[in-house]
Amino acid sequence: MTIRTGVYPGTFDPITLGHMDIIRRGAKLVDRLVIGVTTNPSKNPMFTVEERMEMVKREVADIAGEIHVVSFDSLLMDFAEREGASVIVRGLRAVADFEYEYQMAGMNQQLNGRIETVFLMADVSLQPIASRLVKEIAMYGGEIRKFVPATVRDEVAERVEQIGRKGS
């Protein structure tokens, strides 16, 4: 029996309820889901890769299925190949996401045509959530409890205290 492995890549800085929705649903589509926590310096990370990995591991611990959390700093398709993935799982929130993801999927297909990209639409109630916006709201003292798990909210608040809140 062949085990279907999927990779769900992202920076997860921080992990949001939108990410959790895609992880829960993606885990049902494959036998093994690898959550690839990557670096993207252009996104100005609030948390280190190690902190984000621990955050993700803790939040996915109760989700059914075989889920692994792994860091990577390479081309996505190289990472997916190393993990034995046949599927890349991506979440879509809006048309702007689709245009970017469509282009990336095309480029990835050129790099490795054996791995398919599967798009999951975010739950309607979670579509506006973006890690970048969560961090911005938190930095200005706004409430983020509707967007992230409770423990993540506390970690974001603590980090904001460490680096200093804007607008104060």
Question: What was the pLDDT predicted at 124?
Answer: 86
Which are the catalytic amino acids? 19, 43, 93, 131
Digitized pLDDT (tens) for each residue of the chain, 168 residues in all? 789 999 999 999 999 999 999 999 999 999 999 999 998 777 779 999 999 999 999 999 999 999 999 999 999 999 999 999 999 999 998 777 888 888 999 999 999 999 999 999 988 888 889 999 999 999 999 999 999 999 999 999 999 999 887 765
Question: What was the pLDDT predicted at 33?
Answer: 98
Q: Which of 144, 150, 79, 64 is nearest to 112 (CA)?
A: 79
Instruction: Say if CB 34 and CB 112 are below 8 A apart.
Output: no
Question: What was the pLDDT predicted at 134?
Answer: 95
Counts of helices then strands in the chain (DSSP H, E):
6, 5
Residue spans of the domains in the chain: they are 5-124
CA dist., res. 83 & res. 21, Å (int): 22
CA dist., res. 58 & res. 55, Å (int): 5
Q: Provide CATH code, domain 5-124.
A: 3.40.50.620
DSSP letter assigned to residue 38: E
Question: What was the pLDDT predicted at 98?
Answer: 85
**Torsion angle defined by CA atoms of residues 19, 24, 30 and 33, in that order, rounded to the nearest 10 degrees:** 50
Question: What was the pLDDT predicted at 168?
Answer: 57
Burial (CB count <10 Å: 0-12, 13-18, 19+), residue 143: exposed
